[in-house]
A and B are shown apart, each in its own frame.
Chain A
Amino acid sequence: MTRLEILEELKIVFAPYTPNKEMLHSINEHTDIIKDLKINSANLVDIIIDAENKYHIEIDNESAENMVNVGTCIDVISKKLESIK
């Protein structure tokens, strides 16, 4: 999967948790999950679980702590997808 494809799918992952729905359309790799999308930190684990289930991957805690913006989420997901090929 390309980074752009993952970015598009992340919009669906973030959608239930962001009150800032308008911004979802224009997210880029620098978009911060908490500061920009206004997602409550209490939902961060939900997002990681949703990503795990969507891509059939396991995101370990070391990797999860890096998932602070869209770009780093894509980094982690790409790496995990690559490792199960």
Chain B
Amino acid sequence: MINSGNDIISLDAINITLAKRPQFYSKILTDAEVALYKKEGFAEMPFEHFVWLLWSIKESAFKFLQRNHPFLIFSPTKFVVKHLWMPLGFSETKFNKSQIEDTGFDDQMVLKGIITIESDVLFSRSLVYQELIVSVVNDQSNFKNTWWGIKLIDKPDPQTQSRVVRKFLVDKLQRLFHFDELRIAKSPHGYPLVLNRNKEVGISVSLSHHDHWVAYSFSTARYSFPNEQ
């Protein structure tokens, strides 16, 4: 089972003034990461978006690793974004839809990153819109078997976020795998488990939500599709 980690940030819900203060961003970024921002290209992105972009990459990396290291502690400055590439012609556009789902990122204006956490090396893909940032992390540089979705929700309360993101994911998995009794449970350590008839199906998923946005990701890189019709 290959892991996937994701995170979504609502840019309407962040405190812009605070994110620009060293007191705030020094708790997320290393000095080397602050220097990354000064590299050519990133000036097109507001610094506060850069701070939250790196947060989303680091949180995704944490969620990726947490499944195999349940007692791992999220310490943002220990998750180091070593490289981050912005695509040519990048600009933050409006999301302009209520949801999007895709496989891989070949069709997207995507930022590619490499993250190190002690001896682990992970890879990230991030989308930055005017309203939101979403990141997905795995341990391969190839994301062609990574499935992901982003959805706008009506109400930002935790119950709605949890209910809608689960249904969003379950609907996708049903369409792909044709399970008959699919549901999402939570492990004792807090990560989501995909169960069919109360048995784990061997797909590792990641869920996230922030404000009016929810997102999922999962990988089928090492999964065969026995039920696919």
Contact = CB atoms under 8 A, between A and B. Distances in A.
Contacts of B209: 40
B23 A38 contact: no
Interface of B: 9, 13-15, 18, 23-24, 27-28, 52, 55, 59, 73-78, 157-158, 190, 209-210
B77 A49 contact: no
Interface string A36-69: 0010111001101100100000000110111010
Given A48-B27, A49-B18, A64-B75, 5 more contacts: A42-B13, A42-B210, A64-B27, A65-B73, A65-B74
Contacts of A62: 75
Interface of A: 19-20, 34-35, 38, 40-42, 45-46, 48-49, 52, 61-62, 64-66, 68
Given A19-B158, A35-B190, A46-B15, A41 B27 contact: no
Secondary structure class of chain B's binding surface, majority of residues: mixed
Nearest to B30: A61
A49 B51 CA distance: 15
17 contacts: A34-B190, A35-B190, A40-B209, A41-B59, A42-B14, A42-B52, A42-B59, A45-B24, A45-B28, A45-B76, A48-B27, A49-B24, A49-B27, A52-B23, A64-B27, A65-B73, A65-B78
A42 B10 CA distance: 10
A38 B158 contact: yes
Contacts of A52: 23
A42 B55 contact: yes
A49 B55 CA distance: 16
